[in-house]
Amino acid sequence: MTGAMSVPPDSDDDSEVDGSVGVEERPEPSAVLGRLPTEAGLRRQLAAAARSRGRTASVAPEIDEIEAELAAIEIEPVDLTAARRRVAETTGETERLKERVAALRGDARARRAVDAEADETLGDLEEAAAELSAAQTEAIAAEQALERARAEAARNRDERRRRLRLRDRLRNRLRTARRELAEAVYPSFRRALGVVPGGDPSAAGAAPDDYDGDPVAASLAAVRVAALDSPVELRGDAARAVAASERSARSLLRTAAVRVGSDPDT
């Protein structure tokens, strides 16, 4: 199974993108075998054939459990940059107002020292002190919001790591399931090779990884083993191989309907 997993670097910024490649879902059998030639490997084709016949792997319940856990993971983005910016803004405003209050207090003291009128300065001082109090309250709120955002970002990183571990575990279980299912129908596949054009049972070996015969014949044999409800489309070498046979396509493939698509080589 293809797919790479990458873990994002540790950071308290939650704007990072989860760079992991999603786990490939279990496709419907017709999605694997409904059009030949197929890009799927033999093991995947045989697993699809087995599933079409109602077979399940021993790890199927565990796969369902892992998929349910993955589906339940929800990660909401956290904008730490905005939270940090807000802290910086409120801190800067607080410092500016502290300096203004200090300057007004000094001015008021100086005026009183020389018996000068200080009412206007005291009014400005009262207004600035009220603004400072409000700014300090806002700065505290901004700091608290940043701490909450950091805690949420940390939880998100933990959830991302858990999701990556679950995806890796799911990949392993899916590989196990494909191996079990492919091996379960391999004797039938070997017999089918004796019927389809270009097939050679002696090329089958003991297991799917041992097969060294014609890939088109292998795909035709996999379809013959399967129980597909939807039509099978034959193209290119697959269409030519079946057309050259003395038996009908439906008889060869044991499927309800066969379509011959346009030949990409012509």
Taking only the tens place, the pLDDT of each residue in 17-41 is 454 445 556 789 999 999 999 999 9
The domains of the chain are located at 191-260
Distance of alpha carbon 7 from alpha carbon 26, whole angstroms: 24
Beta-carbon contacts of residue 4 (< 8 Å; ≥ 6 apart): 20, 21
Pairing of strands 258-260, 35-36: unpaired
CB 128 within 8 A of CB 98: no
Q: Which parts of the chain register pLDDT below 70? A: 1-25, 115-116, 118, 262-266
- Tens of pLDDT along 90-124? 999 999 999 988 988 888 788 777 766 767 777 88
Residue type, 174: L
Per-residue pLDDT, 18: 52
Q: Which two tokens stand for residue 117?
A: 């009128």
Per-residue CA distances from 246 to 79, 251, 265 (Å): 67, 10, 23
Per-residue pLDDT, 15: 43
Per-residue pLDDT, 25: 64
Q: Which two tokens stand for residue 207?
A: 């297991």
What phi and psi values does residue 20 have, to the nearest 5 degrees?
-70, 145
Distance of alpha carbon 263 from alpha carbon 115, whole angstroms: 104
CB 216 within 8 A of CB 234: no
Per-residue pLDDT, 260: 86
